[in-house]
Every structure is written in structure tokens, then in C-alpha cells.
Chain A
Amino acid sequence: MIKRFIALALLVGVGLIFTTLMMTYEPDANLNLTAHYYAEHTANDVGSANIVTAILVTYRGLDTLGEVTVLFLASSIIGLVLSLGKKQNKTLRNLVPVGELLTTGSLYLAPIIVLLGVYVFVNGHLTPGGGFPGGAIIASSMLLLLLSDPLKHFSHGLISFVESISGFVYVALGVLGIVMAGSFLDNRILPLGQFGELISAGAIPLIYSLIGLKVGAEFSSMLANLSEMEDL
């Protein structure tokens, strides 16, 4: 009882802070300096129609590399933590048989979902979307396959191969940016092309596709590790 009271008192305090913040908040009438710079210069400097993509992949590309690294660390630690003290003689779970509809439907849908994911990250510089949503969509098709067959085993070798190759090429493209264009992860190592076309914005579609593959592989390895835990 007293604990619940303390928790509620704390929440009222935090709520008061939030209310004050909201009451004193005034939406900006104009873009601030940073946003204004991005709005003015993205089209000429980077050539990407989607300004958010230009910020993520080129202007703040190093942060995105760090983010992908954090995700990689998270998926590796999950694999490590779950494999510690794992019993060898696994008892097979008694599962309710999966219905015909789910099996056929998931086999039919999974390739289409992967295709959608590829579409999302290839068009990352033109439409809302990009490597991270695209990778998550690819991983969701893996989740669908796991739902239809919980005992399914994905090839960890393939997943880590895709992950390491895309990570390596991502960093290699960044270093190529230093050599050929002037800064790390500069997208002008390839011609900028016609603004708004699929093949444009220099290396952005390439880098974002690699990010998409890497994120998809990381999420898939998380799913595979979590699903391979034995029954308790």
C-alpha cells in the first residue's frame, strides 16, 4: 500500500514536470539553423530526395555506423547470454499441429514480405523508409516462418555471413569516401545522378541496402536465438 502511494506520488511529480513543459512549449514558426541548413543544401550536396535519409546516411553517417554496431552488440550478447549453460539434451516440445492455412499462407507470403523489405530499403532515398524499416520487414518474414513452424532452424552461418559481409562493405565504402571524396561515408564516390531517380544520390542506395541487409540479419539472429531456447 505504502509502496503504491510512493509510486503514485512520484508519478504525480513527473506528471507536473511534463505539464509545465507542455504549457510553456511554443512550436517554432521557422526551421532552426541546423534544419534550415539541411533543407537548403541536401538537394545539391547529397542529392537525396528524402532529407531524413540524407541526415542518417551522409551528414550523420558515423552515428548510424555506431547505431548498427550497438544493434550488432545487442544481438551478439543475446546469443551469448542464451547459450550460456544451455543443456545439450533438449526435450522436444509437444506442439499443437500447425494448420494447413498457416503453413501454406506463410510459405506464400514470406518471399513477398522479403521483396517488400528490399523495395523499402532500395527506395530509402526517395520515399519514407530505408534500411532500418526494410531490415525489420525482412526479419518479420522470418518471424512469420517461425510462427508457422516453431521448431524451424535458420542457418546461423548464412545469417552471420550476410551480416559480416554487409558490415564490412559498409565500412569499406566509408573509407573509400575518405580516399575519393573527402570525408568518411561521403556519398559522392558515385555520381549524384538525376535528382529523384532510383539510381541517384551517389552511394546512398548502396549504403542503405547494406544497412537493411545488416539490420535484417541482426533481427533474424535475435529471433532465431530467442526461438531456439529450450522449453522450461
Chain B
Amino acid sequence: MAYIAMATGFLLILIGFYGALTNRNLLRMIVAFTIANSGVNIVIIAIGYMHGRTAPILDSVVPVAEAANRIIDPVPQALVLTAIVIGVGVTALMLAFAYKLYERKGTLDIAKFTELKW
């Protein structure tokens, strides 16, 4: 199970990289980065998964005394919760910049932006 999730995550990262490298349209590149971002999150979650254990929430099913033997690693989940929110911020920022670039040049083709090219 952990391997399926991890393979999916790595595959999503590769798909995202492929999309970012081969597309010239800024919006498509942003979508590709978002896909790679989801892949990274899935991989981190998969590393925290342990077979036969349950979510790190203590209740009548997972009493406090047995917690250490019954729950999966909560740290990757806390990390990913942070990463998702920051990912949204980064995506929104990229979209705002893409909008401004389109306003300047009237195109979203990255090959047309040559100011920083040497």
C-alpha cells in the first residue's frame, strides 16, 4: 500500500517535471508545477504510513496507553499540511505573475520573454 502511494507520488512528480519542461505556455507550466507539488506531498505521506496502524487521533478505539503502537507517524502529516497551504500561496503568486506578463506582452509563450536571456 505504501509502495502504491509512493509510486503514484513519484509518477506525479515525473509527469509534473515533463509538463514543465516541454510546455511553453505559462499556464500549462503552472499546472505542471501543481501536479509535481501534489506528487511530493503524496510521497511524504507515504513515508509516514505504517502497515496495520491507524490515523494519529486518540479516541475510544486508540486509547492513550496504546497510542505508540497503534498510530502512524504524525510528523509527515503535519509537514504536508504546511506544504499544501504554502503550495496554494505559491500557485496563486505564479498565476498573478503570469497575468502581469500577459498584460505586458500579450502572450503566455515563455520563449517570447527574452529580457533575461544571454
Minimum Cβ distance to chain B for residue A5 (Å)? 11
A232 to B97, CA, bound (A): 15
User: B103 contacts A39, CB within 8 Å?
Assistant: no
Contact residues of B with A, CB < 8 Å? 2-3, 6-7, 10, 13-14, 17-18, 21-22, 47, 49-51, 55-59, 64, 67-68, 71, 73-75, 77-78, 81-82, 84-86, 88-90, 92-93, 95-97, 99-100, 102-103
Contact A71 to B96, CB < 8 A, known contacts A11-B18, A34-B75, A49-B58: no
User: B55 contacts A22, CB within 8 Å?
Assistant: no
Contact residues of A with B, CB < 8 Å? 3-4, 7-8, 10-11, 14-15, 18-19, 21-22, 25, 27-29, 31-32, 34-36, 38-40, 42-44, 49-52, 55-56, 60, 63-64, 67, 70-71, 74-75, 77-78, 81-82, 84-85, 126-128, 130, 132, 136, 195-196, 215, 219, 222, 225-226, 229, 232
User: B59 contacts A28, CB within 8 Å?
Assistant: no
Q: Describe B's contact surface by its main secondary structure.
A: helix
A residues near B10, Cβ cutoff 8 Å: 15, 18-19, 21-22
Count how many pairs of residues, one from A and one from B, have CB atoms less than 8 Å apart in the complex. Answer: 141
A215 to B58, CA, bound (A): 26
A residues near B93, Cβ cutoff 8 Å: 74, 77-78
User: A35 contacts B82, CB within 8 Å?
Assistant: no
Contact A11 to B78, CB < 8 A, known contacts A31-B68, A84-B100, A127-B57: no
